[in-house]
Amino acid sequence: MSHYKPYPAYRDSGVEWIGRVPEHWRVTPLKVIADTVNGATPESGKPEYWGGDIAWYTPTDIDNEVASKLGAPRRYITQAGYDSCAVKLSPPGSVVLSTRAPIGSVGTTTIPSTINQGCRTLIPAQHVPTNYLASTLVAAREELRLRGNGTTFQELSTEALRSLRIPMPPLSECVSIAGGLHRETTRIDALITKKTRFIELLKEKRQALITHAVTKGLDPGVKMKDSGAEWLGDIPEYWDFVASNSLFPESKERAWAEDEHLSATQKYGVIPLAEYERLEERQVTHAVKNLDQRKHAEVGDFVISMRSFEGGIERVKARGCVRSSYVVLKASENAHIGFFTYLFKSGAYIQGLQATATFIRDGQDLSYNNFRQVKLPCPSLDEQKSIADFLDKSVSRIDSLTEKTQRSINLLKERRAAFITAAVTGQIDLRGSV
């Protein structure tokens, strides 16, 4: 934003979230420049109200970060459903704002639409560009959230929204600002989209690299043989293909008196519950029943963590105890922890494990019996270690590049937010911007 200049003179707006504004700008309540439309929900028990052709938006349809154009909503209502709500159909070019958590998500409509009670639609006055109004609400997001109240959930009332004071430049500048916002945010969003796609490709490469290494090995010229398992396909002809319980017997050892409680997570593996709460910056529900039935786990064990759709076998990273309903796996002397850490998270193995049960459909828990049904590829211990070392280095490089790209995306998002705020509060002069 360094190439944009400020206005020649400023005055205090008298509104904390706005700060100083160009001296010729007005500061006005939102209700002066936009009509507010409340939402409602047709009765859920009446099928004749649902599945029509009238767009019906809820907070889940709105992006929490940007004021993007709203696509097709998750649900549509019929004319009868619309009539039952006694709400107003808003025209294209309206602004939809979520007024329940997360308060402040903003979207603009491209079709006639209505909303549920967790939103408000703002129909801008004729002289106010939709993009300017939407961007102003994005800039005021924190102020809107501060105005929310409630005990069960935070909600922004219609009056609190309508009384929000916003900066309002003359019409010609309003149009210039809207144009400048569109050009700059479009450019930034294109960069974010490109970098986001790059991260997706890195994740695909990471998974493909892991799956190939743990199922085919590192020697591209090795002779292969049919494993006999659909999920695995061919494996090196000298690899064994063994019963999983021979490599990983189940441990039912009860918790030790000094054991700390562990949490089985896909994000971090099996770590102390207190550490998980610290990393996530939130508290979780602590188990209070069957504590004497909890199971002891050592570093390097694996835990089958029940209803995971991504394999559900997590590596233990600290000594402690897990829930009695979990399964603790002890690695035998023929199993390299690093190799099987990668195998258990490979796409091929997860597919094979999921094929043993209907738990995805009916809520069945992933059990040791499921685990036993999937035989494991087993190269020599030395080769297992070589594969694990190779993947440690390769995956580390991919993860480092992914993190670097994500930091770049975060900076672009911060820049976009800063630009929007600077533009709609007059910190930069977009008159005549190209």
Residue 147's CATH number: 3.90.220.20
Identify the residue with better confidence: 306 or 204: 204
Residues 96 and 154 in one domain: yes
Six token digits for residue 394: 């390769």
pLDDT by residue (tens digit) across 185-199? 999 999 999 999 999
Torsion-angle region of residue 14: left (phi > 0), alpha (psi -120 to 50) or beta?
A: left
Q: Is the pLDDT of residue 247 over 80?
A: yes
**Residue-level pLDDT at 51:** 94
**Residue-level pLDDT at 325:** 86
Domain count, the chain: 3
**Residue-level pLDDT at 248:** 97
Residue 349 located in a structural domain: yes
Residue 32 located in a structural domain: yes
**Which residue in this structure is represented by tokens 């979230």?**
17
Residues 358 and 371 in one domain: yes
Amino acid letter for position 179 = G
**Residue-level pLDDT at 310:** 61
Residue 232 located in a structural domain: no
Mean pLDDT score across all residues of the chain: 92
**Residue-level pLDDT at 290:** 62
**Where residue 358 falls among pLDDT bands split at 50, 70, 90?**
low
Please enumerate in sequence order all residues whose Cβ is within 8 A of that of 363, keeping only pairs 6 or more positions apart, or say none.
Answer: 307
pLDDT by residue (tens digit) across 385-403? 999 999 999 999 999 999 9
pLDDT by residue (tens digit) across 269-300? 999 999 998 998 887 766 656 677 899 999 99
d(CA 428, CA 431): 9
Residues 369 and 259 in one domain: yes
Query: pTM for this one?
Result: 0.84
Mean of pLDDT values over 213-235 = 96
Contact 252, 289 (CB under 8 A): no
**Where residue 362 falls among pLDDT bands split at 50, 70, 90?**
very low
Q: Is the pLDDT of residue 4 over 90?
A: no
Lowest mean pLDDT among 162-171, 222-231, 350-359: 350-359
First to last CA, the chain: 14
Contact 49, 78 (CB under 8 A): yes
Strand partners, 327: 304
CB atoms within 10 A of CB 279: 12
pLDDT by residue (tens digit) across 334-347? 999 999 999 999 99
Q: Is the pLDDT of residue 92 over 80?
A: yes
**Residue-level pLDDT at 125:** 92
For 177, the domain range is 1-25+169-217+379-434
Question: 412 vs 42, 177, 425, CA distance in Å?
Answer: 40, 20, 20
Residue 223 located in a structural domain: no
